[in-house]
Amino acid sequence: MLLTLLAEGSFTLVGRYAPSPTGALHLGNLRTALIGWALARQSGGRFVLRFEDLDARSRGPFRGLQLADLATLGIDWDGEPLVQSKCHSRYEEAFAQLEAEGMVYECYCSRRELSQIASAPHTPPGAYPGHCRDLTPTERAWKREELAARGRGPAFRLRTNEQTLTFTDAVYGQQTGIVDDFVLRRSDGVFSYNFVCVVDDAYQGVNQVCRGRDLLSSVARQNYLHQLLGSTPPTWVHVPLVLNDKGQRLAKRDGAVTLEQLRECGIESAQVIWMFATSLGFPPANTVKEFLAHFDLDHMSREDWRFTAPVPLSAQP
């Protein structure tokens, strides 16, 4: 059906890649970006970028470095990347819409209380059971005053009417996820990931999201929020992860895992693309064009790839 719509010119696929600019991209980030790029380009669609930098820890000089890493591999994109820290007015507008509809309430729970709630019996893992949902005005005033005395403000949660939501992922099939009263705005005033990525996807016209399978659990909440805000949820493509030699999700602390570090080990971009292609079950490729020629989501490996970081040449005996 998707290919038919594309052929008729009535549907343009828009994929996206949205890193946090906290440093150089590692192999796991880059492999996911390449898959998302291939999905968009294979369909003649658009591929857009955005930087998820609302958290102050993400506001470093790394946006240019990440763009350079993508370009080094041959991954291109359409238009100027969106920068979340420049989009506060759009988030405020969407938040105000939900508030006006009575869909937002203050939450006064501390981290300790949240950890206790998460471990309580009969509570689905990761779900918030609405502890602050139905407090009286008097109780709210007392809680607010108590927080203010400690120099804190409340978080803001979405008042949901569903407990679960079922969706289909292009790789992992039908899934059912939790829809709890999740946080829209943290106690420090920063909007949450689940909230801003929905607003941004709608604004950028994104209708296909490719990202790591570790984010599958957030889809139900995001689809629900799309419905509330009047936007259409994208199709979802969650892909296998890149793991370190201990079987843990790859991170920058795992040694030579960025393009610059790999070059110090004698591994160039063509070899990186070759590793990506073969790790996904495709024929060897040395360029992104060759990768695109062989890319087939239906025949892509569903297994995580365990990567052992090489030793830099300067450190070899």
d(CA 156, CA 207): 27
**What pLDDT is attached to residue 2?**
38
Find out whether 310 and 265 touch, Cβ atoms under 8 Å. Answer: yes
Distances from the Cα of 132 to the Cα of 78, 120, 143, 188, angstroms: 43, 16, 10, 18
Give pLDDT tens digits for 293-303: 999 999 999 99
Size (the chain), residues: 317
Sequence-ordered list of residues with C-beta below 8 angstroms from that of 99, at least 6 positions apart, any chain: none
3-class DSSP state for residue 237?
strand
**What pLDDT is attached to residue 315?**
65
Give pLDDT tens digits for 100-137: 999 999 999 987 777 776 665 555 666 888 889 999 99
Burial of 222 (0-12, 13-18, 19+ CB in 10 A): buried
Give pLDDT tens digits for 39-74: 999 999 999 999 999 986 656 679 999 999 999 999
Which residues does the chain have with pLDDT short of 50? 1-9
Find out whether 149 and 69 touch, Cβ atoms under 8 Å. Answer: no
Find out whether 22 and 59 touch, Cβ atoms under 8 Å. Answer: no
Give me the percent of the chain exceeding a pLDDT of 90: 81
Which run of H or of E encompasses 177?
strand 173-178
CA nearest 297: which of 309, 316, 281?
281
Which run of H or of E encompasses 148?
helix 137-149
> Which residue shows structure tokens 């803001």?
156
**What pLDDT is attached to residue 129?**
82
